[in-house]
Structure 1
């Protein structure tokens, strides 16, 4: 039996199970935080601008995550860094929701900024631990990356769902506290992950700016970065266009939730597909091909003449994005230098979140002119990024 098909031993499987629990708990807390804060502010009678500002206090600091991510690579035990981040994320989130009604808004805002600053360590930071857990073969690594994609999908879906359910049953305050407790529980699971020693001495770990420079000057990492950002920017338009698209199809704006759910279920289906049959081949080429597939599914959304076909197209887009995300995780893992792996994961994750936020904002602006204009732009950008990636590789091979 070849090395590619060797089954990972029991210990990696046990470590992967703990990883899934830790990552799902952390990402559920991170994924639901904004919804909990906005609902809490809204139901408390705060003006809309303040609710939005408090929500932004959670998301905007993600861009600063790479500047604290160096600690992942320099620490003697990276688990402690992630566990501490998860613990502090939970504590600051709990303090913010508890003090919201009792203090000036600046106090919860500062606490939420601190909570948001730690968010990248719960997303890309945890993912950076996966290569040391998943097993020695490429097949086992890529199957584990399917699990990782699933934890993102579950966290992004379960977090807001938990907030909605608990807010209806109890209150947004209770929902925020439950999310905070989830982050604290995640910290305990992180410490149960297998220990992996630092790859190099702390003095050899580059600074964040140097890491970004290396990423931009290294072909596969550069392509990973811009493909990840462009696809995130593009698919972020789907929830916005779902509302306008559902109305155009004569089903009413409420049916937009069905389209969005179809996309989310498709994303989970894509992660299951990667688990069942891990991606094969060069991760760099896979990203390009799968970006084209994502663009094709977005084109199918634009062309869908009926609600049923639109739902199928949204599901297909979710599946394609699930596979694409798994390919980007493979690329981050396989092309990152050992001394900066944690920073590469967090840089890519932080810029992905920023690109997604920009995509949502721009889609909200463009959709007023035309329901399909955001997706037309998304298709063009994704196709252009895939073409640029292909051209880069061909130019390099000719040289």
Structure 2
């Protein structure tokens, strides 16, 4: 179900698809969704695990920590440049070709950086990692932009497929670092990096096997990256999707930092911190499973605000948890609710983005979400020295402010239509 994005008042939601149509299996989804899940999981595993592989490669070589941080940033910071190449997703005759090229480039440059690091100046692998980072958003938001054409008609089909998409992020975020850690111990960080590079090559093959979808518009009708961002700012639902996504990403990024700082308060040792982050990850996987089995069918715009409030409540729960058992429970609940929120943002991108700029909308929001998450980790690290729970309390407050802003934004948007 598609809701065109326009500036001005939010258009009324179209009538729900009849139950018979909602429940009918979609042939493209039946064939394409399993391939999509494999492709997305493999590509995102490489994208998510690459930073750890590079950091381990540098530190185990005896190089200083600042170089490890610099090369790690070389593959993450360029994600913000992704939207400026994402226009090709909307102009190409076959968007699969663009994503296949991104997977191959990411894998090739990552492998080359790993192999050349011991042999050349760090500048060379640094430049190669920048190239990997630039195409990284095409492995995340870019692949997600293919999902609406695969999932089939009907809101329920789309929402269920978006639950699968959230699961690929959760699985990749869990197994990516795990693979890197295991292979680094059993072999070396270099081999771990090469394994990640190989996974992008396999992902490229599965992307190529996805069902073909025709280009959404003539290339001349596809806006530039700047115009796309302006269009998102002018469209109420997309504007709210953007800032709620960024605020929640910035806020939940404080959870791992707060977990590390909570050892004294919860009377646990540092080894137990991993259980808190694991509870959050498992909660995320449970939330994505819930979004698959029983998808929400409410309007995505309002749903995002409600779920953002729920995430803020979960963060407050982690602040108030006075025992390790309660902390485990609240971290798990935060993971569940964040996955539901993420699924709602994917639905909003899908339903409110105009067809001729859908790929760019997905990549813009994905890239800015990653940037916000990195900023959240940095801010939490700076604030946690004062009080262990301060970052989470401030994060929950920030989400509450953003939700209040979205409510006012929505009300002001409706006012012209009723006068």
Q: Which residue of 1 aligns with 2:398?
A: 381
Offset, 1:163: 0.2
Q: Which residue of 2 aligns with 1:282?
A: 299
1:258 paired with 2:275, answer yes
| Unaligned runs of at least 5 residues, structure 1 | none
Q: Is the 8 A contact 1:4 1:138 kept in 2?
A: no
| 4+ runs deviating over 3 angstroms | none
1:239 paired with 2:256, answer yes
In 2: Cα distance, 1:59 partner to 1:249 partner: 33
Residues 216-274 of structure 1 deviation map (CA, whole Å, 9 limit, x = unaligned): 01000000000000000000000100011133211012211100000000001000000
In 1: Cα distance, 2:84 partner to 2:26 partner: 36
Q: Is the 8 A contact 1:246 1:307 kept in 2?
A: no
1:128 paired with 2:155, answer no
Q: Which residue of 2 aligns with 1:137?
A: 154
- How many residues align? The count is 399
Q: Which residue of 1 aligns with 2:9?
A: none
Which residue of 206, 221, 239 corresponds with 1:204? Answer: 221
Which residue of 299, 309, 314 corresponds with 2:316? Answer: 299
Q: Which residue of 2 aligns with 1:5?
A: 22
Q: Which residue of 2 aligns with 1:23?
A: 40
**TM-score, structure 2 length as denominator?**
0.94
Q: Which residue of 2 aligns with 1:98?
A: 115
Q: Which residue of 1 aligns with 2:288?
A: 271
Offset, 1:4: 5.6
Offset, 1:397: 2.1
Secondary structure (helix, strand or coil) at the match of 1:133 reads helix
Q: Which residue of 2 aligns with 1:360?
A: 377
- Where do 1:47-58 residues align within 5 Å? 47-58=64-75
In 2: Cα distance, 1:244 partner to 1:7 partner: 50
Q: Is the 8 A contact 2:49 2:173 kept in 1?
A: yes
1:370 paired with 2:370, answer no
Q: Which residue of 1 aligns with 2:59?
A: 42
Distance change >3 Å, CA 227–CA 253, structure 1 → 2: same
In 2: Cα distance, 1:8 partner to 1:226 partner: 34
In 1: Cα distance, 2:30 partner to 2:36 partner: 10
Distance change >3 Å, CA 352–CA 248, structure 1 → 2: same
Offset, 1:199: 1.3
Which residue of 317, 331, 336 corresponds with 2:334? Answer: 317
**TM-score, structure 1 length as denominator?**
0.99
Q: Which residue of 1 aligns with 2:167?
A: 150
Q: Is the 8 A contact 2:137 2:367 kept in 1?
A: yes
Secondary structure (helix, strand or coil) at the match of 1:198 reads coil
Residues 360-382 of structure 1 deviation map (CA, whole Å, 9 limit, x = unaligned): 00000000011011011101100
Q: Is the 8 A contact 1:297 1:316 kept in 2?
A: yes
1:394 paired with 2:411, answer yes
Q: Is the 8 A contact 1:237 1:360 kept in 2?
A: yes
Q: Is the 8 A contact 1:3 1:137 kept in 2?
A: no
Offset, 1:391: 1.3
Offset, 1:7: 2.5
In 1: Cα distance, 2:20 partner to 2:232 partner: 29
Q: Is the 8 A contact 1:29 1:180 kept in 2?
A: yes
In 2: Cα distance, 1:112 partner to 1:43 partner: 18
Measured on the aligned residues, the alpha-carbon RMSD in Å equals 0.9
Offset, 1:279: 1.1
Which residue of 151, 165, 171 corresponds with 2:188? Answer: 171
In 2: Cα distance, 1:259 partner to 1:3 partner: 43
